[in-house]
Amino acid sequence: MKLHTLTYNKGAKHRIKRLGKGESSGLGKTAGKGHKGQKARTGRNVRVGFEGGQMPLHRRLPKRGFNNTTFATKFAIVNLCQLEERFDCGSAITETELRQVGLVKGIYDAVKLLGNGELTKKFTVSLDKISKSAQEAITKQGGSFTELSRKPAEKAAE
């Protein structure tokens, strides 16, 4: 093989269409844009879903169904490993303590304790929800858990 024998693969190189360079160029006169209209003008920019001023399809169709996201309970998630790092042995842990330490920030309906991580300290926990693995880990260390039962009206008041 020599350098002068190298060639491009078939179809890799082809003549570019030169727009508006006469009828024989293949794309002369209107340069493939058709006659008049918004798409033939310079700076043509029609956004997706635009129907020329007609009410777009996504606004014409009826909105049906029910979405529960506005009514769903929003949980702040806390893990056992986070309690292990931030609290001393024998601490009483509530939502206010979690907020003071910075584990819960923002607006939530409830706080849930999950069982990720190892627990070596004894805690007294009173939160809204707890996973089975977290409850087992707390009772294994001699701690206790009380589950708060808040009604939706109480959540809104807080």
Kindly report the CATH number assigned to the domain that includes residue 137.
3.100.10.10
Average pLDDT over residues 104-133: 94
Which 3 state secondary structure label does DSSP give 126?
A: strand
| Predicted confidence (pLDDT) per residue in 78-115, tens digit | 999 999 999 999 999 999 999 999 999 999 999 999 99
Which residue do the tokens 């809104």 mark? 156
Mean pLDDT for 121-136 is 94
How many separate domains does the chain show?
2
Same domain for 41 and 93, yes or no, is no
Residue-range definition of the domain harbouring residue 146 = 75-157
Tokens, residue 103: 């584990």
Residues 57 and 84 in one domain: no
For residues 109 and 46, membership in a common domain is answered with: no
Q: Out of 7, 29, 61, pick the residue that ends a domain.
A: 61
| 57 has pLDDT over 90 | yes
What b/e readout covers 33-59, taking b as 16+ CB neighbours within 10 angstroms? beeeeeeeeeeeeeeeeeeeeeeeeee
User: E strands within 1-158?
Assistant: 75-79, 92-93, 110-114, 124-127, 129-130, 144-147
Is residue 158 scored above 70 in pLDDT? Answer: no
Average pLDDT over residues 50-66: 91
- Give dist(CA 97, CA 83) in Å, integer: 11
Give yes or no: residues 153 and 125 share one domain: yes
Q: What is the pLDDT of residue 44?
A: 72
pLDDT class for 40, splitting at 50, 70, 90? confident
Please determine, for residue 156, whether its predicted confidence score (pLDDT) is greater than 70. Answer: no
